[in-house]
Structure 1
Amino acid sequence: MKAMICDAIGEPEDLRLKQVEAPAMRDDQLRIRVHAAALNFPDILTVQGKYQHKPPLPFAPGMECAGEVIAVGPKARGGFRPGDRVMANPGVGCLAEEVCAHPDKVYAIPDNVTFEAAAGFIVTYGTVYHAFVDRGALRPGESLLVLGAAGGVGICAVELGKLMGAQVIAAASSDAKLKLCADYGADHLLNYNAEPIKETVLGLTDEQGADVVFDPVGGDATFQSLRCMNRGGRLLIVGFASGPIPEIPANRLLLRQCQAVGVAFGSYGAQYPDRIRANMAVLTDWWKHGMLKPHVSMTFPLEEAVAAMNALTTRKATGKVVV
């Protein structure tokens, strides 16, 4: 099979498209023919050796994909059959023509959904729903500040936040990106290259501050968000797309009686797979009934996966990038 292979820790430009043996399937796994794979920032970090999960070399990057089941291990549970249309989150290996995955990380795709739309559904929507329900206890009527609001998880946070009844403040780096956030229902738009985060958020919340901050960005944006949180607010730490990992001043949490809450979808799912499957059942039901609209801004063939990764690192993409 063809696969985009990482032979040594380095940069996305070091990846090579190769003809390799299909991965060996365990008795408790499914084999999936990959029709589309979605990229996430952890895919790039994995290639660079900076992600917490470090697969043995050589490997094909790619956390999630969508495709067709072509083989079922004799001990694989879940009732999947060859020919089933599925999306999967095996964590690695998806930038290839075939991948193997445990059924706990595989979900059926609604009939009215394309492989391209399904490829990036699990990690983004799963992360956001887990953040809002399991970690942040987001309630209807609360104010929600979404950083990086036009990115992969960011636009999902805008969409799900509105669906769950929050007043959504979408923060992004350009007016063009904020236009997308408005299309997904954001109540207020904040260009943090043109407006100060603290003063703008306080002005939009009657000087109370945001009840919940969804933060996949890190860096200075995290610190600025801490300065405009309501009493009892929750800072949901999702990632560090900007690069720097912020040091959170504990005095801000103390004075505002706030919480800084880690959101790790992958490790939570490994510990509580039944809870994640219940979350995904809610999400796929909403999706099936037209309540969710995954946004794919760019698609690339497998041989151009490096260009696809660069679209993420240079912030050219909104929503998801699919290979």
Structure 2
Amino acid sequence: MRAFTVTSHEASPELVETDRPEPGENQILVKIEACGLNFADLLMIKGTYQETPQLPFVLGMEVAGTVEKLGAGVENFVIGDRIAVFGGQGGLAEYGVYDASRAVKLPDQMDFVNAAAFQVAYGTSHLALDHRAHLKPGETLLVLGAAGGVGLTAVEIGKVMGATVVACARGEEKLAAAKAMGADHLIDASSQDIRAEMKALGGADVVYDPVGGDQFIAAFRACNPEARVLPIGFASGDVPQIKANHLLVKNITVMGLYWGGYLAFNPKALTDSLATLMDWFCEGKIKPHVSHVLPLEQAAEGLDLLAKRKSTGKVVITM
């Protein structure tokens, strides 16, 4: 089979021929149809992600496909089941082996491209806004990086949860994508003062931040009393430092969210969240925004789109 493989943190990944894997106990072999790209893939190439696998490894955190073969002990799936899997790696290949516990069956209404774009982005935003921040109807949600893979889902989910959503992104094209997902107000991070604009709108009750850096600081300063701030990632490359005395003045809570980490200590939170999201999809409340669909041969181009901020929503690679 073909697999897009990282062999060195100092070199670009390459599409190589390798042996098809075999499932072990409680594992399934998946014929992969589509793989969603994530910013974390870029960090893994450099070796800076918190869960970078040992070299060599195949990139691709989330996939959709069909069950090709069952390992011993697998009872919840049959050959031919359409599934999605968050595997953390191995997705940019024609086949992959995964623990059956990480797979979910797809509803008939969901195709493979949408499924590959679904788990990480929607799962992150829903767990952050619902499980962590307890976003309430009528509150004001500020979403930074609002046209990115997770940002757009935060806009969409915020609206489903009844919030007033302020989307912050760079440029008219990206703001248009956020508006199409239901954003009530738009802030252009390339030309407008985030703090001043948010103050004029009454301040933020919840801040969803996959960007970090100066935007985090500006949003933090625009928070209302008892606001909740969610650091999701640091696409700017700048991890902001928070002064504890600033937290207590307005009784602000800062709560981190690493979606994949829940697999280790509270997997039920993930499965419950995904079940809710699948229901919302089937009810037409949410729909993944995929700006680019590329073949496996163009996986490097797909990653470049992420690195250069040229995509909106998700980039999906098909096999």
TM-score interval, smaller chain: over 0.9
Question: Alpha-carbon deviation of 1:23?
Answer: 2.7
How far apart, in 2, do the equivalents of 1:241 and 1:159 lie?
Answer: 20
Structure 1 window deviating more from structure 2 (284-293 vs 156-165): it is 284-293
How far apart, in 2, do the equivalents of 1:37 and 1:47 lie?
Answer: 17
Pairing partner for 1:198 from 191, 195, 201:
195
Question: Alpha-carbon deviation of 1:297?
Answer: 0.2
Question: Alpha-carbon deviation of 1:37?
Answer: 0.4
Question: Alpha-carbon deviation of 1:175?
Answer: 1.3
Pairing partner for 1:71 from 69, 72, 78:
69
Does 2:116 match 1:119?
yes
**Superposed CA RMSD:** 1.0
Identify the residue that residue 57 of structure 1 maps to in structure 2.
Answer: 55
How far apart, in 1, do the equivalents of 2:78 and 2:42 lie?
Answer: 32
Does 2:277 match 1:283?
yes
Identify the residue that residue 2 of structure 2 maps to in structure 1.
Answer: 2
The correspondence of residues 206-217 of structure 1 with structure 2, limited to 5 A, is 209-217=203-211
- CA shift digits 1:135-178 (9 cap, x unpaired): 11111111000000010000000000000000000000111111
Identify the residue that residue 272 of structure 1 maps to in structure 2.
Answer: 266
Pairing partner for 1:152 from 149, 153, 157:
149
How far apart, in 1, do the equivalents of 2:194 and 2:268 lie?
Answer: 38
- CA shift digits 1:196-225 (9 cap, x unpaired): 0001001011xxx20000000011111111
TM-score, length basis structure 1:
0.96
How far apart, in 2, do the equivalents of 1:188 and 1:214 lie?
Answer: 15
Question: Alpha-carbon deviation of 1:103?
Answer: 2.3
Identify the residue that residue 34 of structure 1 maps to in structure 2.
Answer: 32
2:24 and 2:72 in contact (8 A); partners too: no
1:234 and 1:260 in contact (8 A); partners too: yes
SS in 2 for 1:236: strand
Aligned length: 317
2:66 and 2:82 in contact (8 A); partners too: yes
**Letter of the structure 2 residue corresponding to residue 314 of structure 1:** K
Identify the residue that residue 297 of structure 1 maps to in structure 2.
Answer: 291
1:104 and 1:273 in contact (8 A); partners too: no
1:33 and 1:69 in contact (8 A); partners too: yes
- Runs of 4+, deviation exceeding 6 Å: none
TM-score, length basis structure 2:
0.97
How far apart, in 2, do the equivalents of 1:105 and 1:47 lie?
Answer: 23
SS in 2 for 1:231: strand
**Letter of the structure 2 residue corresponding to residue 2 of structure 1:** R
Question: Alpha-carbon deviation of 1:24?
Answer: 3.7
Structure 1: 5+ residue stretches without partners: none
How far apart, in 1, do the equivalents of 2:146 and 2:100 lie?
Answer: 31
2:84 and 2:104 in contact (8 A); partners too: yes
How far apart, in 2, do the equivalents of 1:47 and 1:28 lie?
Answer: 29
